[in-house]
Amino acid sequence: MKTYSRTPFAPSRTPFAPVRIPFLLGLLALCLGLSLSFPLRAEPRQIIVASKPFTESYLLSEMLAQIIDAEGEASAVRKFGLGGPTLVVDAIKSGTVDLDVNYTGSLAHLLLPQKAAPNRAELLAALRTYGILLSESLGFNNTYAIAVRSETARSLRLTAISDLRSHSDLRGAFTPDFLNFDDGFYKLQQVYGVTLQSAKPMQHSLAYQALQSGEIDLTDAYTTDGSLSQFDLTLLRDDRSFFPTYYGVIMIRAEVAERFPRTWLALRKLEGRLSDSQMTKLNAQVDVARRDLATVAHEFLVSEQLLSAHSQASVQSHVLDAGLWVSTYEHLFLVLSSLLLSCLIGVPLGILAVQFRRTGQVLIAGTGLLQTIPSLALLCFLIPIMGIGALPTIFALFLYGLLPIAQSTTSGLLALDGRLIETAKILGLSRMQRLRLIELPLASRYILAGIKTTAVINVATATIAALIGAGGYGRYITSGLAMNDTRVILKGAIPTALLAVLFHALFELLGRWLIPRGLQLAQTHEP
């Protein structure tokens, strides 16, 4: 039998709704305002430099940033580690990124997929429609190659890709781009008549390790990859000239080139300066020798007389490290601001689902469908609308957080004793009064549980924000994976886990503070 030291309707010494909820919402609203204060676009005298999440792209973009800073017309804002060529190109189209080093093969695939081998003139014409300019080649051709262990190459007498036709029992692992591009694996199978036992997606750094351990037999490689020297690998000759050229080129918004002509001229001095072997050596200095990325970029620019020997790179000791406190600040605001939005929409949605069953259930089902969209895909959809940075990340996290909060609100309201509601009606309370004074307080433990679930999930999901330049702990995880550096990965993974635990504990304490005293006592005495 239940016993109460006070009834759930009895006033508490610390009332629930009138004071505590507005205070909590006000605190979260402050976090939202600060989050949206993140710079989403460059200031008039700034140029946003992007990079993709692999060492060569980091290096080249850092060179561009140092040249921009040295020229003095503008200052460089580094948005490194953006998630892939499609995302970067979309960001430049939308104007939220100003320039990047891309590759002719990737641009041809993205802009002219119907063309088998578009020439430079066709590529330039396609880019002009988006207000984008392209430099001449920087000198190197970082195309694809098929890599096998040297031991495997010797034992099976593999020297060219055609030799793979006689070995259908081999296991492969390839980067997602290589699996999906027109000049990737499946087209290669058709051209060479190659069949494999398996072909699964895997990042380069992990694929190289899998090769060494014997888990796979071959993978795709970049011909200027510095990590190749770390492993005993053989690159098979492309004897049918299947792979197109992937010359490194600078792509820049035409408006930026016009505003900063001296800077654009200085950047173009990189044209033709980097041979295949030179680019490979620079990558190896970072990937193998573990030298500081900014230092390697600076030394090369000085050696080519593109920077003064007395100049200093205007970067931190590591361009991928914004500082733990800055990353914590960014991560917290992404989580808290999206959580506020999810609460402001999710709780009313849960109430609606109870009051208007059919309409509400349809809306909740719609929020459930949002959970099935991969987070990176959703961010890619949002970039043309919202650009890169904090705003699309907050919106995506808000959408992902709706379902747990709405469902928990619905569950809490449906679990109420109908006799209490009838008693309230007899006492003459209106629907809004019943909702505010009785139903929401009694359902508060369910609602808070949903909010807690959303907060913990968002702490982990927010790490993907680094792929669109929003910072947070994800910048360490992304860059660590790209350069196969476990120490950097842990620098992001450990704080993320600790923050999730902290949020869980915090909401447990909030539950004791926010849930009405009478309800807590009732729950305590339940059999």
CATH of the domain at 343: 1.10.3720.10
CATH number, position 184: 3.40.190.120
Round to whole Å and give the CA distance between 416 and 420.
Answer: 8
User: What is the average pLDDT score of the chain?
Assistant: 81
Please report, for residues 237, 291, 369, the alpha-carbon distance to residue 240 in angstroms, rounded to integers and kept in the order given: 9, 37, 45
Taking Cα atoms as reference points, which of 375, 333, 329, 327 lies closest to residue 472?
Answer: 327
pLDDT value at residue 63 = 95
> Tokens 């259930």 appear where?
361
Residue 173 or 112, more confident: 173
Please state at what angle helix 440-461 crosses helix 517-524, rounded to 10 degrees: 90
pLDDT at 317 over 70: no
Q: How far apart are CA 330 and CA 66, in angstroms?
A: 25
Looking at residue 256, which CATH number applies to its domain? 3.40.190.10
Instruction: Examine the domain organization and report whether 294 and 391 are in the same domain.
Output: no
- Examine residue 351 and state whether it is found in any structural domain, yes or no: yes
> 360 and 473 share a domain?
yes
Helix (H) or strand (E) holding 154: helix 150-156
- Do residues 229 and 266 both lie within one domain? no
Q: Which of 276, 303, 330 delimits the end of a domain?
A: 303
CA–CA separation, 293 and 100 (whole Å) = 17
- In-domain check, residue 4: no
Output 491 or 252, whichever has higher pLDDT. 252
Higher pLDDT, 296 or 355: 296
What pTM was estimated for this model as a whole? 0.74
Confidence label for 39 from pLDDT (cuts 50, 70 and 90): very low
Nearest to 224 by CA among 147, 150, 313: 147
- Report the number of distinct structural domains present in the chain: 3
Is position 289 within any domain?
Answer: yes
**Same domain, yes or no: 282 and 369:** no
> Which two tokens mark 207?
């694929």
**H and E: helices and strands count for the chain:** 23, 10
Average pLDDT over residues 241-262: 93
Residues 264 and 326 in one domain: no
Q: How many CA within 13 A on the CB side of residue 517?
A: 8
Are 122 and 72 in a shared domain? yes
The DSSP result for 330-354, as a single string, is HHHHHHHHHHHHHHHHHHHHHHHHH
Q: Which of 459, 338, 454 is nearest to 391 (CA)?
A: 338
Asked if pLDDT for residue 142 goes beyond 60, the answer is yes
Last residue of a domain, one of 236, 254, 277: 236
Q: Is residue 112 part of a domain?
A: yes
At 468, the amino acid letter reads I
- Could you tell me if 469 and 361 lie in one domain? yes
250 and 281 housed in the same domain:
yes
- Which residue in this structure is represented by tokens 């504990």? 505
Domain containing 451: what range? 16-37+322-524
Three-state DSSP string of 168-216: CCCEEEECHHHHHCCCCHHHHHHHHCCCCCEEEECCHHHHHHHHHHCCC
Res 182: pLDDT = 67
What is the rounded distance in angstroms from the CA atom of residue 1 to the CA atom of residue 218?
A: 68
115 against 515, higher pLDDT: 115
Query: Counting Cβ atoms within 10 Å, is residue 216 exposed (0-12), middle (13-18) or buried (19+)?
Result: buried
218: three-class secondary structure by DSSP: strand
Residue 8 pLDDT more than 80? no
Closest to 413 in 3D by CA, of 365, 451, 445: 445
Phi-psi region of 522 (alpha: psi -120 to 50; beta: other; left: phi over 0): alpha
Q: In sequence order, which residues have a C-beta less than 8 Å from that of residue 289 and are 6 or more positions away?
A: none
| Closest of 221, 174, 167, 177 to residue 197, by C-alpha | 167
Q: Distance (Å, rounded) from C-alpha 23 to C-alpha 208?
A: 53
Q: Is 95 a residue whose pLDDT tops 50?
A: yes
Which residues is 219 bridged to in the sheet? Answer: 147, 173
Q: What are phi and psi of 388, to 5 degrees?
A: -105, 170
Kindly state whether residue 5 falls inside one of the protein's structural domains. Answer: no
Is 289 a residue whose pLDDT tops 70?
A: yes
> Are 352 and 439 in the same domain?
yes
Q: Please check whether residues 277 and 172 belong to one and the same domain.
A: no
Identify which of 95-104, 249-258, 501-510 has the greatest average pLDDT.
249-258
**Digit-coded pLDDT (tens) for 383-407:** 777 777 788 888 889 988 888 888 8
Residues 193-213 have pLDDT tens digits of 988 988 888 877 788 888 888
How far is Cα 343 from Cα 281, in angstroms, rounded to an integer?
Answer: 52
Range name among 236-240, 243-247, 315-319 with the lowest pLDDT average: 315-319
Is the CB of residue 159 less than 8 Å from the CB of residue 145? Answer: no
Is residue 399, in this structure, part of any structural domain at all?
yes
Q: Tell me the backbone φ, ψ of residue 415, rounded to 5 degrees.
A: -85, -5
* Partner residues linked to 146 by β-bridges: 220, 236
- Indicate if 209 and 101 belong to the same structural domain: no
Q: Are 108 and 184 found together in one domain?
A: no
Determine how many CB atoms are found less than 10 A away from the CB of residue 434: 17
Is 440 inside any structural domain?
Answer: yes
Identify the pLDDT of residue 224: 92
Give a yes or no: residue 92 inside a domain.
yes
Q: What element of type H or E holds 524?
A: helix 517-524
Residues 3-15 have a mean pLDDT of: 40
The residue assigned the tokens 């000049």 is 183
Q: Is the pLDDT of residue 521 over 70?
A: no
Boundary residue ending a domain (211, 236, 261): 236
Cα 14–19–21 angle (5° rounding)? 110
Distance of CA 373 to the CA centre of its chain: 14
Q: Which two tokens stand for residue 144?
A: 């694809």
Could you tell me how many residues make up the chain? 527
Q: Which residue has the higher pLDDT, 493 or 309?
A: 493
